[in-house]
Amino acid sequence: MEKNYREVAQSWLDGNYDEETKAEVRRLMDTDPAGLEDAFYRNLEFGTGGLRGIMGVGTNRMNKYVVAMATQGLANYILKHVPGDSHSVCVSYDSRNNSDAFAHITAEVLSANGIHVYIYDCLHPVPLLSYAVRKKHATAGVMVTASHNPKEYNGYKVYWSDGAQIIAPVDKEIVAEVNAISDPSMVKYKADGKEGGIEIMGDEMNNAYMDDVLTLMLSPEARAEHKDLKIVYTPLHGSGVKIVPAILKRLGFENIYHVPEQDINDGDFPTVKSPNPEESSALEMAVEVADREGADLVLATDPDADRLGIAVRDNEGKMVLFNGNQTGAMLTYYILRRWSELGKLDGTKYVVKTIVTTELIRAIAEKYGVKVYNVLTGFKYIADIVRRNEGKGEFICGGEESYGFNIGEFVRDKDAPVSCAMVAECAAWAASQGLTLYQLLQNIYKEFGYYRESLTSLVRKGKAGVEEIAAIMTGMRNNPPKELAGVPVTRVIDYDKPEETGLPKSNVLQFFNEAGDVVSVRPSGTEPKIKFYFGAKGSDADAKIEKLREQFIK
């Protein structure tokens, strides 16, 4: 909701804020009127997954006051709506600037409200936070991260007792409690009576997680045969720096190469334009190490280690990058084939994908008689399927095109460390078949058909950008395209109409043509951009993707 931003900014100068904050507000008033408006024209929205925004002073920014107020709202919800008088929350954080400070403010406020806190002793990935919530039987979890966003951002993700990000109705109920905290004076920093303790987590939790990861592996003989596989790993200055190499060593791989400059935890991400493994430039230094050392495989995780990017050698020996759809399809194929060979498929197992993720996963699952669930974008919806099927079926694996994948039920979010482990084992297994990972993917295409997907995003920043993105969505709802790449549109799905889709309401549009091509459009929930997902199948899929891009990106 928009506000008189100058009045709100003045209230910060008049209120109980520290002098450093007030000095920055004065600077904006004197020298940057546009920046002042963007910082104060609205409250940073605590959405259904939590907070994410640019760091700085103001109500529309990530800062210690906004974090403390959000935490007080979360505490109020837990104390009002969760039965019992013994509550706990697990807290973790990544390498972003201020993540450590925001995490400890979170712990302090929760403790002051009588809630026991388990907080990691240093930065830890998203999957370790999800794992801890389940292991500690905690009420909730908080992960301080902005995932793969640019360095100016930070965020605050809330998890529930199943280890998954919050969904309806809990998400909206928490949002209401957070919105009720209108001033920092409403935040408890010191306990009135009973104070929750703050307990440190470390090696014990890490070891338990790694032990569980090892139970998911499928080809120990192949790993032993190809333990000399050369693997380059980079955490991109993030939280995978310790856990991923430790897992690879436990799997028996002996040649793990690092990118020393990127092992340094630095929220400015000085060696990359963006710490996002979806962008090829983020893997450049790792590929250089791979070429120098003659490595077979590159693995790269984002700052909170929930997304994985990989590079493999093609038939000419050149390092090429897989996209998220390719990695997800390859892992699904490997896992289902091995489960089939090991006699583990019994009709109760299933995989999950999102609506914008490659249909190649569905084709692979159908071959092995494994059920496929199709859900909205966001791993919380994959986790919800897992929760709903507890005691009735077993989740094998699942993923989304944005480089997120998970295996098994120990963690209820994207899990890059376990994905790193499975990709490395898959590489060893492929080598035992006389194949590289690149050749394995080509064989998958030969068996199931060639699928090609592409994502293009239009960035539109600030207040004007929000309005422009909304106008684009409205325009396509009112005037949907009549054809895709010259082929008539036969179906339009508007996920804003849950009564028609059977899924939760979401601001997403999909257009299908009679050739099976698809275009999905949705505003990002975490960044100032609108995303266009293009999908095509067949020998001319590459050409069709280019036609679709020209059609939609003006």
Write out pLDDT tens, residues 363-401: 999 999 999 999 999 899 999 999 999 999 999 999 999
CATH superfamily of 208-448: Alpha-D-Glucose-1,6-Bisphosphate, subunit A, domain 3 (3.40.120.10)
Q: State the catalytic residue, choosing from 92, 147, 219, 419.
A: 147
pLDDT for 103 equals: 98
**Per-residue tokens: 356:** 């914008």
pLDDT tens, 173-192? 999 999 999 899 999 998 76
Q: Which of 114-128, 191-205, 246-260 has the lowest mean pLDDT?
A: 191-205
pLDDT tens, 396-452? 999 999 999 999 999 999 999 999 999 999 999 999 999 999 999 999 999 999 999
Q: What is the mean pLDDT of residues 507-518?
A: 93
- Rg for the chain, CA atoms, rounded: 24
Q: Would you list the DSSP string of 332-382?
A: HHHHHHHHHHTT---S-EEEEEETTS-THHHHHHHHTT-EEEEE-SSHHHH
Percent of the chain past pLDDT 90, that is, above it, reads 90
Length of the chain: 554
Q: Which of 39-53, 113-127, 157-171 has the lowest mean pLDDT?
A: 39-53
pLDDT for 195 equals: 67
Active-site residue, 95 included: no
Distances (CA, A) of 129 to 122, 150, 186, 274: 12, 22, 28, 24
pLDDT for 87 equals: 97
pTM: 0.93
Q: Would you list the DSSP string of 283-296?
A: GHHHHHHHHHHT-S
Give the whole-angstrom CA distance, residue 154 versus residue 62: 6
pLDDT grade for 117, boundaries at 50, 70 and 90 = very high
Dihedral, CA of residue 214, residue 219, residue 220 and residue 223, to nearest 10:
-100
pLDDT grade for 46, boundaries at 50, 70 and 90 = confident
Q: What is the mean pLDDT of residues 146-175?
A: 94
Q: What is the 3-state secondary structure (H, E, C) of 71-130?
A: HHHHHHHHHHHCCCCCCEEEEEECCCCCHHHHHHHHHHHHHHCCCEEEEECCCCCHHHHH
What kind of fold does domain 71-182 have according to CATH?
A: Alpha-D-Glucose-1,6-Bisphosphate; Chain A, domain 3 (3.40.120)
pLDDT for 415 equals: 98
The angle subtended at Cα 387 by Cα 381 and Cα 393, nearest 5°, is 110
pLDDT for 85 equals: 87
Which residue, chain included where needed, has tokens 């930070």?
A: 154
Average pLDDT, the chain: 95
pLDDT grade for 245, boundaries at 50, 70 and 90 = very high
Helix axes 416-432, 324-341, angle to 10 degrees: 60
With contact defined as beta carbons under 8 Å apart, do 291 and 227 qualify? no
Kindly state the DSSP code that residue 501 receives in the 8-state scheme: H
Q: What are phi and psi of 504, to 5 degrees?
A: -55, 150
With contact defined as beta carbons under 8 Å apart, do 255 and 223 qualify? no
Residue 132 has pLDDT above 50, yes or no: yes
Helix (H) or strand (E) holding 54: strand 50-54
Please name which of 414, 372, 424, 379 lies closest in space to residue 395, comparing C-alpha atoms.
Answer: 372
The angle subtended at Cα 348 by Cα 347 and Cα 351, nearest 5°, is 100
pLDDT grade for 2, boundaries at 50, 70 and 90 = low
pLDDT for 461 equals: 87
Dihedral, CA of residue 495, residue 501, residue 504 and residue 509, to nearest 10:
-10
pLDDT for 366 equals: 96
pLDDT grade for 524, boundaries at 50, 70 and 90 = confident
Residue 505 has pLDDT above 70, yes or no: yes
Q: What is the mean pLDDT of residues 61-79?
A: 97
Neighbours of 1 (CB within 10 A): 7
Give the whole-angstrom CA distance, residue 202 versus residue 209: 11
Distances (CA, A) of 20 to 24, 188, 529: 6, 22, 31
Indicate the domain borders of the chain: 71-182, 208-448, 451-552
Q: What is the mean pLDDT of residues 193-214?
A: 91
With contact defined as beta carbons under 8 Å apart, do 56 and 78 qualify? no
pLDDT for 464 equals: 87
**Per-residue tokens: 64:** 């210690």
Q: Is the peptide bond before 169 cis (omega within 30 degrees of 0)?
A: yes
With contact defined as beta carbons under 8 Å apart, do 549 and 456 qualify? yes
Residue 488 has pLDDT above 90, yes or no: yes
Task: Give residue 46's region: left, alpha or beta (phi > 0; psi -120 to 50).
Answer: beta
pLDDT for 1 equals: 47
**β-bridge pairing 140-144 and 88-93:** parallel
Neighbouring C-alpha atoms within 13 Å toward the C-beta of 247: 29
Which residue, chain included where needed, has tokens 């380059």?
A: 232
**Per-residue tokens: 527:** 């960044």
Domains 208-448 and 451-552 share a fold: no
pLDDT for 554 equals: 77
Q: 451-552 in CATH: which number? A: 3.30.310.50
